[in-house]
């Protein structure tokens, strides 16, 4: 039998919006919180590379069930790149693989290429990434010198803009779909210009619906254990863009027994929704019970459980 997971009387249930510092991995940050604050049930939504800093959503306790529903929305990043070189990781921390003269490159050319990101619909996944092939992260294959399969993924760039260009460096901001590799955007820009480019810095400013101004510094989180709970967003408030319905005691009990609840067809009704809508059910105390979706069963529209949150 496997080892029983540790439990802690200090375990919180909710989401911590962390301002991950540049340097440690996302896992390093979680391990610090896990061991120093005894948060043994912990996870994160949307990995940030060691070089990157900014919004990292840390899921605690029962909120670890929310991962798929916290990661799918747009992200906003600001960052910088350096022209005239390439590395195996597409960022400044990798081993250099080429260098080139940039004397023919103008600031206007670079600005145009940053604006052009919004026209991209696909990108190559970096070899040094956590994307998996046959169950193994690509970075493991790359580090062992094994062949790394080329993976192409769909992306959506909602906007991209140059902030400041002073060659060989350029700063930018981009809003993109979840899972977009900014390193790959930088690499593709360098390839189009024919001189190469590497990402020099990156800050995740927003992981919808959470922004950097909502985030806590890691040192502040670890340095004040007694006030840690005040920094954690309760599960019932973690998806503010989802409708939230308060159930009666009887209805809450039915949901926790796996029952579906009829959707109120009247606009403005207590359980109003249309097919495909998603919502959160809470009990009379305001505690989260379940995430639900309006689905049709034998022509009747019902709220069906996506994820139970009551235990």
More confident residue, 146 or 229: 229
| 53 and 121 co-located in one domain | no
Residue 292's CATH number: 2.30.130.10
How many separate domains does the chain show? Answer: 3
What is the domain range of residue 174?
75-207
141-168 per-position pLDDT tens digit:
667 777 767 778 899 999 999 999 999 9
| 199 and 118 co-located in one domain | yes
Q: Flag whether pLDDT at 134 surpasses 70.
A: no
| 87 and 182 co-located in one domain | yes
Point out which residues pair with 206 in neighbouring strands: 76, 211
98-114 per-position pLDDT tens digit:
999 999 999 999 999 99
With respect to residue 8, please indicate whether it lies within any of the assigned structural domains.
Answer: no
| 219 and 269 co-located in one domain | no
Contact between 203 and 53 under an 8 Å Cβ cutoff? The reply is: yes
Q: What is the DSSP letter of 94?
A: S
| 87 and 169 co-located in one domain | yes
Residue 37's CATH number: 3.30.2350.10
| 125 and 167 co-located in one domain | yes
| 250 and 199 co-located in one domain | no
In three-state secondary structure terms, 242 is coil
CA angle 309, 310, 311 (to 5 degrees): 95
- 49 is a catalytic site residue: yes
| 40 and 81 co-located in one domain | no
| 192 and 215 co-located in one domain | no
With respect to residue 222, please indicate whether it lies within any of the assigned structural domains.
Answer: yes
Of 28, 32, 49, 91, which residue is the catalytic one? 49
| 260 and 163 co-located in one domain | no
């Amino acid at each position: 039998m496997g080892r029983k997971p540790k439990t802690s009387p200090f375990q919180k249930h909710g989401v911590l919006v962390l301002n991950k510092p540049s340097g440690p991995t996302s896992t390093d940050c979680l391990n610090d919180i896990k061991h120093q604050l005894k948060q043994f049930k912990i996870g994160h939504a949307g990995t940030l590379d060691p070089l990157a800093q900014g919004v990292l959503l840390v899921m605690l306790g029962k909120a670890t069930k929310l991962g798929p529903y916290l990661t799918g929305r747009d992200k906003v990043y600001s960052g910088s790149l350096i022209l005239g070189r390439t590395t195996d990781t597409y960022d400044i921390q990798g081993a250099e693989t080429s260098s080139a003269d940039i004397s023919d490159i103008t600031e206007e050319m670079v600005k145009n290429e940053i604006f052009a990101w919004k026209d991209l619909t696909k990108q190559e996944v970096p070899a040094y990434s956590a994307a998996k092939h046959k169950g193994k992260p690509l970075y493991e294959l790359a580090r062992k010198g094994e062949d790394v399969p080329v993976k192409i993924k769909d992306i959506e760039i909602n906007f991209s803009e140059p902030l400041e260009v002073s060659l060989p460096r350029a700063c930018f901001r981009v809003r993109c779909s979840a899972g977009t590799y900014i390193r790959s955007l930088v690499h593709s820009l360098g390839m189009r210009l024919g001189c190469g480019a590497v990402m020099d810095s990156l800050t995740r400013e927003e992981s919808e619906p959470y922004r950097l101004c909502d985030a806590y510094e890691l040192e502040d989180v670890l340095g004040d254990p007694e006030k840690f709970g005040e920094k954690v967003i309760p599960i019932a408030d973690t998806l503010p863009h989802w409708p939230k319905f308060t159930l009666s005691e009887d209805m809450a009990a039915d949901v926790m027994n796996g029952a579906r609840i009829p959707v109120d067809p009247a606009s403005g009704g207590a359980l109003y929704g249309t097919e495909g809508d998603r919502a959160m059910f809470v009990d009379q105390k305001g505690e989260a019970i379940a995430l639900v979706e309006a689905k049709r069963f034998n022509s009747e529209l019902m709220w069906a459980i996506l994820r139970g949150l009551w235990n």
